[in-house]
Amino acid sequence: MIEVERLEKTYGFARALTGISFSVRKGEVVGFLGPNGAGKSTTMKILTGYLLPTAGRASVDGLDCVRHSRAVRARIGYLPESTPLYQEMRVDDYLGFVADIRGVAARDRKRAIARSVDLCGLERVTGKNIVELSKGYKQRVGLAQAIVHEPPVLILDEPTSGLDPNQIIEVRNLIERLGEEHTVVLSTHYLQEVEKSCTRVIIVDRGEIVADGTREELIASRPPGGVLLRVRGPEDAVVGQLRELLPASGAVEVLHREGAVADYRVAVADRSAPLDEALARLVVKNGWDLLSLQRELPSLEDVFRDLTTGEREVAHA
């Protein structure tokens, strides 16, 4: 549904995009994740026809975003970071206005508005002026205008920016519902948005794509963290023996203790070192009870921090 090939964008001497490539299949909900200034909004604006690329190409539904800009825009529903609303209009009048300029036929307009109102949960406020609405409802109206012409693709740029926690949950649930009927690209720097709403994650940093895959694939691509053990045995002896097993860079942490049972975290600087078997043998050799042992998996936050701070290697899951 979306194809981006070697896309570049330069503002004077600053390169916002350095030749990124990715594709989005029909029905996917893709999180475009990155820190502020990473190039997310620039990519969204090129896809929606607001900006011209310096080099490379982008297409939506097989249509080039530059050569067929009007046709591409007809296939896209766009919610920019600052929601485009006419505050003095009533909600139903505003959606009717958007349906009109989006080319929805007069005979279909009532049905299209009713569908967007229903999907976005706006039944209670259709007769109100937009200026009277809470920020959460205004964001819903912004989403409703993006889908009123029933586009196959939705591009949402920071859709929960500035909302309170309850409003974020409401909009997040709405995005999940919209993902059942549309291909969605969701630009954000909030990890929770990606984890809750997206089937796939693209991480961009300094104008480059540094990772692309499902949440599980991205986590699996990183080295595991420490090893978590639950052992029944004398704490001082257990800690002492574990430390003797580890290299100088290793560390042992007691996480929790209840009676003779304690939870330990064992970590070394080289996270690829195979600790599991050696730790299990050590516990059994000393006659202690090994109640559980598991590797500590990195979180999506760990992956994000690894890839967007300091030196990093480009990873494609």
Q: What is the pLDDT of residue 163?
A: 78
Side by side, which strands form the sheet with 63-64?
14-24, 2-11, 55-60, 63-64
CATH assignment of the domain containing 74: 3.40.50.300
Same domain, 139 and 245: no
Q: What is the pLDDT of residue 310?
A: 57
Long-range Cβ contact pairs of 173-182 (< 8 A, separation 24 or more): 174/119, 174/120, 174/121, 174/140, 174/143, 175/29, 175/143, 176/29, 177/119, 178/119, 178/143, 178/147, 178/154, 179/29, 182/77, 182/147, 182/151, 182/152, 182/153, 182/154
Side by side, which strands form the sheet with 153-157?
76-79, 153-157, 183-188, 29-33, 200-205, 208-213
Identify whether the C-beta of residue 262 lies closer than 8 Å to the C-beta of residue 235: yes
CATH assignment of the domain containing 249: 3.30.70
Same domain, 118 and 138: yes
Identify whether the C-beta of residue 287 lies closer than 8 Å to the C-beta of residue 183: no
Same domain, 153 and 6: yes
- Split into its structural domains, the chain has a count of 2
- What's the domain range around 38? 2-220
Same domain, 191 and 290: no
Same domain, 216 and 239: no
Same domain, 190 and 231: no
| Residue that is last in its domain, among 166, 200, 220 | 220
Q: What is the pLDDT of residue 272?
A: 53
pLDDT in tens, the chain (317 residues): 999 999 999 998 899 999 999 999 998 999 999 888 899 989 999 999 999 999 999 999 999 999 999 999 999 999 988 888 999 999 999 999 999 999 999 999 999 999 999 988 899 999 999 999 998 899 999 999 999 999 999 999 888 877 788 878 888 888 888 888 889 999 887 787 788 888 899 999 999 999 999 988 888 877 667 889 999 999 999 999 999 888 777 889 999 999 999 999 998 766 555 678 889 999 999 999 999 998 877 788 888 888 887 544 444 44
Q: Return the residue matching tokens 């070697």.
A: 6
- Which residues are registered as beta bridge partners of 228? 265, 294
Q: What is the pLDDT of residue 315?
A: 44
| Residue that is last in its domain, among 220, 251, 280 | 220
Same domain, 200 and 273: no
In a domain, 305, yes or no: no
In a domain, 301, yes or no: no
